[in-house]
Amino acid sequence: MAEETLERMISSYMSTEQPVYSFGWQGGEPTLMGASFFRLVTELQRRHGRPGVAVSNGLQTNGTLITDEMAAHLAEFKFLVGVSVDGPADLHDRFRMNAAGAGTHASVMRGIEILRRHSVDFNTLTLVTQANARRGAEVYDWLVAQGFLYHQYIPCVEFMDDGSLASFSLDGESWGRFLCDLFDAWYTHDTRRVSIRLFDSLLHKIVDDRNVVCHLGRDCRQYFVVEHDGGIYPCDFFVRSDLRLGGVADTTWEQALDSQLYRAFGLAKCGWNERCRSCKWLGLCSGDCLKHRPGAPEAPANLSVLCTGLKMFFEHAAPRLNALADAIRTDRRREEELLRPAQSQAGRNDLCPCGSGRKFKKCCGRRNA
Ligand code: SF4
Ligand code: SF4
């Protein structure tokens, strides 16, 4: 991305009103841009942000090009880094090879060591393919044994030109079996120690009725993707010329947001298949991501290729997810009871006794008003 495009993107976004300005840096491989690019990013955010605004930066990387210089900058500006690692070396190296055809596991682990040395917050992102799908518990145990406690698992679903699934893609049953094994491994000891994004997100949904990941929601208007040339698109899985919403040089964010194209894309999410409409899991699943429905967004009513596995997982895990949701509600009630005496003494402008760091009147005080 050229500097002019970068500045235009950051300045136009930061002139809108947001509670938090959220940037996610993804590629390709964004670290190819080097440390100087990310120094420029934070400088532009400082230059164009009003004093005191909150900015969050996420960076998704394969980890192989992390340097001390880059890690020091990521730590200073509190980037949250996602590192792609698909399990132990034999599983990871099956598909994640460098240009010379050699496995990259060792260089990923080196990159993680550098992040750790600089105390950069990171989580792991594990792509689930036919190579590791039958080894869910083993992958999980290996990640935990490395001290990685924040996990994301992404199903690898790719279609060929004729609409069939690619050979390395997951089918629904493999995804379901993987999720069940993963859930059992996590549930036994680790529900309060290890964060698995999908499980956490389902708990958010059950307890607070909030969708913290897009595929559990009912509308795909969740974010914008800006390509290197400034083109704006609705989703990183759908960077297609016919879905281009405009460009940062000549389109305002309001125009992109209000466009008919974006609206139609967003609403395709709940253009469900008949089976979804009568499915008892629709409240949790929302028909799955459009990317997993062949022919979507034009044909959103095609069933997700992962449907069988999603049903298998929900049947398997729902009673225990509900038990965890009950435990969270109980914990919250206890915390509220413990806080009540301190809250009754707190002044409106005091720091909130709940430890949020906000003023009482803007935190629990507002809720109690
Ligand atoms: S298509 Fe999938 S990834 Fe894209 S916004 Fe919709 S749910 Fe999210
Ligand atoms: S489990 Fe299958 S049928 Fe049910 S909502 Fe999800 S995709 Fe639709």
pLDDT digits (tens, 9 = 90+) for 22-72: 999 998 899 999 999 999 999 999 999 999 999 999 999 999 999 999 999
CB atoms within 10 A of CB 177: 18
pLDDT band of 88, cuts 50, 70, 90: very high
For the sheet with 55-61, list strands across it. Answer: 21-25, 55-61, 80-84, 121-128, 150-155, 195-196
Q: What is the pLDDT of residue 367?
A: 60
User: Is the confidence at residue 260, as pLDDT, over 80?
Assistant: yes
From CA 247, how far away is CA 226, in angstroms rounded? 8
Given a contact cutoff of 8 angstroms between Cβ atoms, the answer to whether 57 and 21 are in contact is no
Q: Please report which confidence band the pLDDT of residue 141 belongs to, taking 50, 70 and 90 as the band edges.
A: very high
With a pLDDT cut of 90, the percent of the chain lying above it is 87
| pTM metric for this prediction | 0.90
Residue range 301-325: average pLDDT? Answer: 98
pLDDT confidence band for 262 (50 / 70 / 90): very high
What is the structure's pLDDT at 354?
Answer: 78
pLDDT of residue 356: 77
Residue 368's pLDDT is what?
Answer: 53
Give yes or no: 242 in active site: no
Examine the pLDDT at 355 and tell me if it is beyond 80. no
Ligand 1 probe mutation, 157, 236, 237, most atoms within 8 A of CB: 237
Distance 24 CA to ligand 2 centre (A): 29
For residue 162, give the 3-state DSSP assignment.
Answer: coil
Share of the chain above pLDDT 70, in %: 99
Q: Is the CB of 282 under 6 A from ligand 2?
A: yes
The pLDDT, as a whole number, for residue 176 is 98
Indicate if the pLDDT at residue 233 is higher than 60.
yes
Mean pLDDT of 132-153: 97
Q: Which residue has the tokens 């809250």?
A: 343
Q: What is the mean pLDDT of the chain?
A: 95
Confidence of residue 222 (pLDDT cuts 50, 70, 90): very high
Dihedrals phi, psi of 236, to nearest 5 degrees:
-70, -15
Whether 284 lines ligand 2, by a CB cut-off of 6 Å, is no
Ligand 1 atom nearest the C-alpha of 296 is 1
Our CA angle for 48, 51, 52, nearest 5°, is: 120
Which ligand 1 atom minimizes the distance to the CA of 222? 5
Given a cut of 90, whether residue 346 has pLDDT beyond it is no
DSSP β-bridge partners for residue 232 = 226, 246
Phi first, then psi, for residue 283 (nearest 5°) are -60, -30
Range 276-281 average pLDDT: 98
Q: Give the best-scoring range by mean pLDDT among 126-135, 163-172, 240-249.
A: 240-249
The stretch 237-242 carries a mean pLDDT of 97
Res 198 pLDDT > 60: yes
* 12 Cβ inside 6 Å of ligand 1: no
| pLDDT score recorded for residue 343 | 73
Max CA separation in the chain (angstroms) = 67
Ligand nearest to the CA of 271: 2
Distances (CA, A) of 277 to 264, 271, 290, 292: 19, 9, 16, 17
How much distance in Å is there from the Cα of 303 to the middle of ligand 2? 7
Instruction: Report the C-alpha gap between 174 and 163 in whole angstroms.
Output: 19
Distance (Å) from CA 311 to ligand 2 centroid: 7
Ligand 1 touching residue 290 (CB < 6 A): yes
Which of these is catalytic: 171, 190, 219, 236? 236
